[in-house]
Amino acid sequence: MPVGTRKDTGKWGYRHWYHGKNYRKHVWDNRDEAIEAFKEFLDRLKRELFVIDSNISLVEAVNKFLEFSALIGKSEWRLKALHTNFKRFIIPSLHAETRLKDITHLNIEFFIKEQLKRQIKKNTINHYFIDLNSLLNWAVNEKIISANPVKDMKKEIRKMIRPDKIIKEGHTPEQIRACEAVLNNEERLFFRFLKFTGARLAEALTMKWDDVYYQKNDIILRGTKTEESLRKIVMCESLLSTLKELEKYKTESPYLFHKKDGSRILRKDKLFKKIKKLTGIKITAKDLRDYYASIMIKGDDVYRPDIVTVQRSLGHKNIATTQKYLYPFKDSEIKAVGIFDRIEAISTDVSTGQGVTGRDRGVKPCSNWWRCRESNPGHCGYEPHALTD
């Protein structure tokens, strides 16, 4: 029975993982109370669950799946993406009235081939496939279908939508400064805000003055992509001066960046198109987020933060995601590969076996006992130079 105590509080409680959600509560003083509470929780959970008809149609299954996704805490951003992909692409292709259990691997393969004809990115099609696969896995857990038909798909079809690996080069500090130099007024301040916070575009556009704390020297970014998106960022001096300068444009609007009527700005495409036109450098808000991560993890002679600190600053759920953002700069790579040149220069004599012999280095004959085959039967014809150094 998953009943135990918390180390920090000493309180008894339970932990139960069900359908992708972790239910836990530790507020009781003894084990018996926690066991009784856990039994009541299981009874309540069974009453709240609904039994789904195995003959449910695709569109009905999608609706139930979206309800389930919201129940287990999927973000608003993720729910919108699921709704759009199912409504615009998956359901029209597989037909809304089709029973979910009648969908076969052939239907899924046909759907993929249809999407390939649209001349869209393989990564986009792969996202459709991932969402459909998630729906079918959910249906298996709910006993609507006995097995996921994706398992019977041909490997060749799966390979057709496998995203290509792209080696992305990050922008250098010189390029970032060149982009910033062509901007004026609020545009420049918005660019600097992204550069000094690593905020996602939506996080920057929804940023409010109420989340700026000058006394504590930090700001709150209220992201919705993951649970970790809601985070606190310590202000550097450059960000502080940017916000102080931004106060010149402050109105009754609660947002840092807003339209003339005070409403929230939804897009910033024109800003990045302007940079591309004036500098020839293609850059996006995502690139500035990458730049923020790269600069922070690179550090300087004074301090180099650990990757966990960078992870928290970016609002990532796991470190593996953070590592994808870290693009090394050219000068760092040059210094790194230069290690081989220095090693080669230092160890030339040792690696070739030529140079000063052990006797010339002042080693006594008794120290060379291993050179004699008679006294050392295990001698195999090689001479470990490192032992005579």
Give domain status of residue 344, yes or no: no
Q: What is the residue range of 378's domain?
A: 356-388
The answer to whether position 286 is within a domain reads: yes
Last residue of a domain, one of 139, 160, 181: 160
Which whole-number Å values give the CA distances from 87 to 54, 91, 96, 156, 379, in the listed order? 22, 6, 9, 27, 76
One-letter identity of residue 154:
K
Strand order in the sheet with 3-5: 3-5, 12-18, 21-28
Are residues 315 and 246 both part of a single domain? yes
Does residue 345 lie within any of the structural domains? Answer: no
Query: Which token pair is 67?
Result: 């309800």
Residue 260 sits in a domain whose CATH number is 1.10.443.10
Backbone torsions φ then ψ of 388, nearest 5 degrees:
-100, 0
What is the DSSP-derived secondary structure letter of residue 258?
B
Report the number of distinct structural domains present in the chain: 4
Q: Are residues 270 and 224 in the same domain?
A: yes
pLDDT band, very low/low/confident/very high, at 298 (cuts 50, 70, 90): confident
Do 183 and 259 belong to one domain?
Answer: yes
Pair 52, 68: CB distance under 8 Å: no
Looking at the domain assignment, is residue 81 inside a domain?
yes
**Residue found under tokens 């609706």:** 63
208 and 323 share one domain: yes
pLDDT band at 380 (very low <50, low <70, confident <90, very high): very low
CA angle 341, 347, 351 (to 5 degrees): 115
Looking at the fold, whether 325 and 177 belong to one and the same domain comes out as yes
* 3-state SS class at 264: strand
Q: Are residues 206 and 253 in the same domain?
A: yes
d(CA 360, CA 350): 15
Q: Is residue 337 part of a domain?
A: no
Query: Quick one: DSSP state of residue 259?
Result: -
173-196 per-position pLDDT tens digit: 899 999 999 999 999 999 999 999
- Whether residue 97 is predicted with pLDDT greater than 90 in this model: the reply is yes
Reported pTM = 0.57
Do 208 and 95 fall into the same domain?
A: no
- Does a structural domain hold residue 230? yes
Q: Is 347 a domain residue?
A: no
The domain that holds 110 is classified in CATH as 1.10.150.130
Over residues 237-256, the mean pLDDT reads: 92
Cβ(194)–Cβ(204) under 8 Å? yes
- The rounded percent of the chain whose pLDDT value lies above 70 is 81
Q: Among residues 271, 258, 242, which one has the least CA distance to residue 183?
A: 271
Structure token pair of residue 157: 């079809």
- Higher per-residue confidence, 107 vs 379: 107
Q: Are residues 188 and 313 in the same domain?
A: yes
Residue 261 phi/psi, 5-degree rounding, is -85, 5
- CB hemisphere CA count around 96 (13 angstroms): 7
Q: What is the pLDDT of residue 44?
A: 77
Looking at the domain assignment, is residue 139 inside a domain? yes
> Do 220 and 300 have their domain in common?
yes
Q: Which of 160, 195, 222 is where one domain is finished?
A: 160
Q: What is the pLDDT of residues 26-49, one digit of tens each?
A: 888 888 888 888 888 877 776 665
**Degrees, nearest 5: CA angle 71-76-78:** 90
Q: Is the dihedral of CA 172, 173, 176, 182 positive or negative?
A: negative
Structure tokens at 19: 């359908």
Same-domain status, 147 and 192: no
In terms of domains, do 133 and 199 share one? Answer: no
Last residue of a domain, which of 129, 160, 191?
A: 160
φ, ψ at 258 (rounded to 5°) = -150, 170
* CA dist., res. 158 & res. 111, Å (int): 12
Are 238 and 310 part of one and the same domain? yes
**Among residues 300, 196, 340, 306, which one has the least CA distance to residue 256?**
196
